[in-house]
Homo-oligomer: A and B are copies of this chain.
Amino acid sequence: MNNKEHKTLKKRLHEIIYEADTPAGKLFDVILLILILISVLVVMLESVESLNAIYGTYFQIIEWIITILFTIEYILRVFTVKSPLKYIFSAYGLIDLAATLPKYLGLFIGKTEALLILRSLRLLRIFTILKIARYIGASNHLIRAIKASRAKIGVFVFAVVVLSIVLGTIMYLIEGTANSGFTSIPRSIYWIVVTMTTVGYGDIAPVTALGQFFATLVMIMGYGIIAVPTGIVSSEYSDVKKYKTNTQVCNNCNENNHGDDANFCHQCGERL
C-alpha cells in the first residue's frame, strides 16, 4: 500500500466515522448508536441480581464484544483524525476512551482485591451513554437560553441553599425533640429541600402541631419560589429566540447580534 492509497483510505474512513452524509457514514452512526444502547442496557441489567445470576455469562460476552468494537472505533478515530492529540484530549475523545478502559482495567485487578473497586469500574461503563452526546448537539437555542440564565439561576440556587439552611435550623429547633426524624440540622435541611422542591418523600414528616404549621408555610413559600427559575428560563428563552431570527451580519464591523427590525448596524451605523 503506497502513500497515496493510505491517504485515500484515511480520508474515506474519516468520512465514514466523522460524517453522516454518505450511506456508509449513516450506517456507521446507526450501528454505533445501537452498540451504545446495548452496552448501557447490559450494565443496567447486570446490576439486577436475579438477572445476573442467570444471564451473567451472556452479559460478559456481550460486554467484551462491545468493548472490543469500541476499542477499534477509538483507534480508527485517532488514526483518521487530522490532529490526533487534539481529539484524544477533547471531551469526545476522553468519553470514547472511558467507554473502553474500565473493562480492560478490570482484568488487572485480581479477585482477591477490594470488590468495591471492581464494582466501581464496572459501573463506570454506564458513562458509555455520554458517547450519545454526539447525536444531541442540535438544540442551540435551548443551550443558549440555559447559558443566558446560568448566572441568575446560580444566584437563585445559592439563595435557596442559604434559605434552606436557615429554615432547616428553625425546623430542627421545633421538631428536634419530637422523635420525628429531625435528628440533626443536616437532616432537617435535607427535609426542607425535599419540601421546598415539592418532592415530599414522606420519610421524614413533622408530627407536632407547630411543626406542621411551619411546614405549611415552607410549602406555600416553595410554591412561590418554584416560579422564579421558570420565569427566568421562560424569559431568557423568549429573548434568545428573538435574536435568532435575524442572521444579518454587518459588512463593516461584523457585529451579528441585530434585532429583527434593525435597518442599520447598532455598532457602527452601517446600513445592513
Contacts and interface: CB of A to CB of B under 8 A. Distances in A.
Interface of A: 40, 43-45, 47-49, 119-120, 123, 126-127, 129-130, 132-133, 136, 138-139, 141-142, 145-146, 151-153, 155-162, 165-166, 169, 172-173, 183-187, 189-190, 193-195, 197-203, 205, 209, 212-213, 215-216, 219-220, 222-224, 226-239, 241, 257-259, 261-271
A238 to B, nearest CB: 5
B200 A223 contact: no
B173 A194 contact: no
A149 B230 CA distance: 14
Contacts of A222: 197, 199
Which residue, A162, A187, A201, has most C-beta atoms of chain B within 10 A?
A: A201
A269 B259 contact: no
Given A127-B166, A184-B47, A263 B259 contact: no
Which residue, A44, A141, A257, has most C-beta atoms of chain B within 10 A?
A: A44
A169 B126 contact: yes
Nearest to A211: B190
A270 B183 CA distance: 64
A202 to B, nearest CB: 4
B257 A264 contact: no
Closest 3 CB pairs between A and B? A199-B200, A201-B202, A264-B269
Contact of A227 (B138, B141, B234): B234
A238 B258 CA distance: 17
B200 A129 contact: no
B47 A172 contact: yes
16 contacts: A44-B165, A44-B185, A48-B184, A123-B172, A130-B166, A132-B162, A139-B156, A160-B220, A190-B213, A190-B216, A194-B216, A194-B219, A199-B200, A239-B241, A264-B264, A265-B266
